């Protein structure tokens, strides 16, 4: 099994306590093993169905489907998730891609 990327684990873990109202985010939480562990569990429950249990993403993830949507990208080193800053990954996960990059 591949090493689990800390930023994906932390982004998944950070979703749990902040589901309502104003919040602050500790983007250094990846230094806390219990947060990474919680993120791995949350990833398996809420993210792996699309992004893959081994972070592999969906087939042909760079090609839009017939309706113009992109499939889920991998979160391993073959994708581009690791290029983005942690704060941006948090925003994409919490608010959605459209809120962060636009484009519908
Ligand atoms: C229903 C399928 C689905 C689920 C479940 C899902 N995603 Fe995604 N995710 C996508 C798709 C599709 C994209 C690409 C959207 C685009 O590029 O327009 C995406 C994009 C992303 C991106 C941006 C990646 C990049 O390289 O730019 C991140 C980060 C992400 N997802 C994290 C998560 C996390 C964390 C979870 C679980 C809490 C999750 N996703 C659950 C379908 C899903």
Answer whether residue 1 is part of any domain.
no
For residue 70, is it within any domain? yes
Which residues, judged by CB distance below 6 Å to any ligand atom, belong to the binding site of ligand 1?
8, 11-12, 15, 46-47, 49-51, 70-73, 79-81, 84, 89, 92-93, 97
Give pTM, 2 decimals: 0.82
Q: pLDDT tens per residue, the chain (104 residues)?
A: 456 666 666 666 655 444 334 456 777 888 899 989 999 999 999 999 999 999 999 999 999 999 998 999 999 999 999 999 988 888 899 898 888 888 76
**Considering its fold, how many domains does the chain have in total?**
1
Structural tokens at position 38: 């919680």
Domain containing residue 34:
6-17+24-101
Q: Are 54 and 33 in contact (CB under 8 A)?
A: no
CB 13 within 8 A of CB 91: no
């Amino acid at each position: 099994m591949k090493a689990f990327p800390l930023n994906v684990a932390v982004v998944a873990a950070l979703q749990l306590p902040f589901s309502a109202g104003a919040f602050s985010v500790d983007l250094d939480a990846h230094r806390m093993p219990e947060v990474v562990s919680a993120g791995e569990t949350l990833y398996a429950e809420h993210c792996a169905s699309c992004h893959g249990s081994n972070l592999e993403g969906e087939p042909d993830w760079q090609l839009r489907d017939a309706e113009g949507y992109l499939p889920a990208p991998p979160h391993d080193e073959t994708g581009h998730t690791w290029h983005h800053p942690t704060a941006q990954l948090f925003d994409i996960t919490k608010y959605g891609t459209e809120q962060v990059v636009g484009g519908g």
